[in-house]
Amino acid sequence: MFRARPEAGPATVEVLVEGVPVRVPEGASAAAAFLLAGPAAIRDTPVGGGPRAPFCLMGVCFDCLAEIDGVPNRQACMVTVAPGMRIARQRGAREALR
Ligand code: FES
């Protein structure tokens, strides 16, 4: 459903989305990497378990909460990919970090 823009240049950063290696354009967000990788939902809601995907891609809706490099509740659209980054779907509620 999603693909990189043609002018984005060659994919230069490899990240792991749900444990699967994916090459994405340098400077892309973790949410964009997740969408390019293809899974339909990046998180499940805590109450009903409904699937959610990145929506606004600008830090407003919080529908992109994911576990990034082992840290839950990260807004994936606000995180720039880095080589080897691990992006995982977040299922339900997570504890707030102190
Ligand atoms: S997609 Fe809306 S806050 Fe990240």
Whether the Cβ atoms of residue 43 and residue 65 lie closer than 8 Å to each other: yes
Identity at 57, one-letter amino acid code: L
> What is the mean pLDDT of the segment spanning 41-54?
90
Ligand 1 centroid from CA 34, angstroms = 12
Longest dimension (CA), the chain: 42
Domain housing 57: 11-91
What distance in angstroms lies between residue 97's CA and the mean position of ligand 1's atoms?
A: 20
Atom of ligand 1 nearest to the CA of 55: 1
Record the tokens describing residue 69, joined without a space: 């490099």
Whichever domain contains 15, its CATH number is 3.10.20.740
* Residues near ligand 1 (Cβ within 6 A): 31, 54-57, 59-64, 75, 77
CB atoms within 10 A of CB 54: 25
> What spacing in Å lies between the alpha carbon of 43 and ligand 1's midpoint?
12
Res. 64: pLDDT tops 90? yes
Q: Return the structure tokens found at 86.
A: 């691990």
Residue 31: alpha-carbon gap to chain centroid: 3
- What is the pTM assigned to this prediction? 0.85
Mean local confidence (pLDDT), 3-29: 86
In a domain, 47, yes or no: yes
Number of separate domains in the chain: 1
